[in-house]
Amino acid sequence: MERKYLRAGEFGAAGRLSPKALRLYAEQGLLVPASVDPATGYRYYSPDQLPRARLIARLRRLGLPLARIGPLADLTPEARALELRGWLAAQRSLLDQRAAVVEALRWSGAESGLVDAVQLRDVPATKVLCRSRQVDTTALDHAIRTAERAIREHLRSSGLGDGGPTLVYFQDLVTPDSEGPVEVAVPYDGSVEPAGDLYIRLVPAHTEAYLPAPAGYEDFPLVLRVYDALEAWTDTRPDVTCVGHPYEICPGTGAARFDVAYPVDVA
């Protein structure tokens, strides 16, 4: 005779799930016991729940977060396979980016030619219209483009033209799998009101150490070498101290797509 219920230990063994996993999945609503004894608290599962338990176990072994496993488990096999292929393609892309970072770290250390190209310049105080976002490198270009478009459209609608170069401030590390706050800013002259998520701030007069990004070094991960060169240059100059977050200035000096810069104090 088919048993109506399995004890939690029996069910977990048959479904290849540990007692700890069973408790967690019950708490998360992924795999709720079919019955709970009110007197003892013992949990019982139906044999009909075993296919779902085994599916959850397989999805968990892929490293998927619990928040994603529930919706996937509820899909048809065809729809689930389609979703998982998309997830796998994204994982492969992320792995390729991590491999590129590993190769960049293999050559870690500043290149002398880049270090020799670092220069100083004075920057006057200026007002900037800004937008900030938390992004990783996969979303960075889109965030910069959309922010720049929104800022310049607002400046034009306020009768101030397009404004100056695009400034992109990196206030924390931004990598393929690590988000950081990134501020996009455009200098302007005149008077403008904040709008929506656009805000105004004053960039004080300062000196910056800068390096135009050479052709071939503009994109991640090779752009890290441009930052390495600037940091090496300031580290070896006892009269120069970095005093703020790095930023990129687009367009850059000469034919460079952008300059990388650090605000510095010069003794």
- DSSP 3-state of 256: coil
pLDDT band at 2 (very low <50, low <70, confident <90, very high): low
Helices vs strands, H then E, count in the chain: 8, 12
Q: What is the largest CA-CA distance in the chain?
A: 88
User: What value does the mean pLDDT of the chain take?
Assistant: 90
Residue span of the structural domain in which 30 resides: 6-74
Average pLDDT (12-40) is: 90
Confirm if 86 and 177 have CB atoms less than 8 A apart.
no
pLDDT, average across residues 93-122: 77
Number of domains forming the structure of the chain: 2
**How many residues appear in the chain?**
267
Q: Which residues, in sequence order, are CB contacts of 11 under 8 Å at separation 6+?
A: 17, 22, 44, 45, 49, 50, 53
User: Among residues 74, 102, 125, which one ends one of the domains?
Assistant: 74
Virtual torsion, Cα 196, 202, 208, 212, nearest 10 deg: 30
Asked if residue 230 and residue 123 are part of one domain, the reply reads yes
Compute the distance between CA of residue 180 and CA of residue 145 in angstroms, rounded to an integer.
17
Chain centroid, CA 157 distance in Å: 31
CATH of the domain at 160: 3.20.80.10
Q: Are residues 64 and 125 in the same domain?
A: no
119 and 52 in a common domain: no
| Structure confidence by residue, pLDDT tens digits, 207-249 | 999 999 999 988 877 888 898 899 999 999 999 999 988 999 9
In a domain, 104, yes or no: no
Distance between CA atoms of residues 244 and 261, nearest Å: 10
Q: What pLDDT is attached to residue 81? A: 93
Q: What pTM, to 2 d.p., does this model score?
A: 0.65
42 and 123 share a domain? no
User: Token match 């399995």: residue?
Assistant: 6
Peptide bond into 194 cis (omega under 30): no
Residue 42 located in a structural domain? yes
Task: Specify if 127 maps to a domain.
Answer: yes
The confidence score (pLDDT) of residue 147 equals 97
Q: Are 70 and 118 part of one and the same domain?
A: no
Same domain, 57 and 147: no
The residue among 27, 56, 74 that closes a domain is 74
What pLDDT shows up at residue 211?
A: 97
CATH number at residue 12: 1.10.1660.10
> In the predicted model, what is the mean pLDDT of residues 190-203?
96
Residue 86, domain member (yes or no): no
Torsion, Cα of 232, 233, 235, 236 (10° steps): 110
- pLDDT at 109 exceeding the cut of 90: no
Distance of CA 237 to the CA centre of its chain: 32
pLDDT tens figures, 38-50: 888 889 999 999 9
**Residue 198 domain-assigned (yes or no):** yes
172: tokens are 């924390």
Indicate if the pLDDT at residue 161 is higher than 80: yes
Residue 54 lies in a domain: yes
**Does one domain contain both 69 and 17?**
yes
Tell me which of 74, 94, 121 is where a domain ends. 74
Q: Is residue 187 part of a domain?
A: yes
Confidence of residue 103 (pLDDT cuts 50, 70, 90): low
